[in-house]
Structure formats: C-alpha cells, structure tokens
Amino acid sequence: MSDYESKGGGGRGGAKDKDKKDGDKGRRTFFRRKRVCKFCVEKIDYVNYKDVKLLMPYIPERGKIQPRRISGTCATHQRAVQTAIKRARQLALVPYVTD
C-alpha cells in the first residue's frame, strides 16, 4: 500500500494516471458490444469436435485458440471448445498452425 503511494508522483500508478486510464476505458466501451457466450445463448450442450463450422470462429487466422477475453465464451464452454479444437486438430480437420 505504501509502495503504491510512494510512486504517486512517478510515471505509473499515480492518481493522474488513473484518471487517464478511466477515460481510455470509457472510449473503448463505446466500441465494445456486450459479449455473450455463444453456447449459452444458443443452448449448445455438446461441443462436437467433428463440427468444423462450429469451431472455426474460435480459430483466428494464425490457428491459435481464441482467448475467452475476446470471444466472450463462458469458462465451462471455453473448456469444451478447447478440447474439441484439440481433437479436431489431431484429425486434421482444423490446423495446428497457419502462416
């Protein structure tokens, strides 16, 4: 706590800085749509690893698995998506890497 205060005048963590960050956030939320878990909304109970069409939105160009913070998937379903993608990769249905 005291550590935080002592840095007040520095470049980081000061009150001034905090204000700026809040402003930043406000600007960003302007663009951000509320993210919802697709699987909860559409009531998909089983994430099928054979369904490439279902998994494709979670694999951006590079071939990595889309993180939750971007897709908005809930923890339960992100885990399901993760195993499904990994299975689909073994069967060459989706790529491991693309460059």
Partner 1 sequence: MSTASPTRQYELVYIALPDTTEEGLAELHTQIVTVVDRFGGSVERTEAWGRRKLAYEIGRQREGVYVLEVLNGPGTMTAELDRRLRVTDTVMRHLIVRVDEELAMAERSKVRRKSLTVARRLRRGLPAEPTELEVARRKEHEEDDMDNGPDMGGFRDRDRGDRGDRDRERGDR
Site of interaction with partner 1 (CB under 8 A): 3-4, 7, 12-13, 31, 33, 35, 38, 41-43, 45-46, 49-50, 57, 60, 66, 70-72, 87, 89-97
Shortest reach from residue 83's CB to partner 1, in Å: 9
Nearer to partner 1, 15 or 41 (CB): 41
| DSSP letter for each residue of 44-93 | -----TT-HHHHGGGS-TTSPPPPHHHH---HHHHHHHHHHHHHHHHTTS
Q: Are 58 and 70 in contact (CB under 8 A)?
A: no
Shortest reach from residue 46's CB to partner 1, in Å: 4
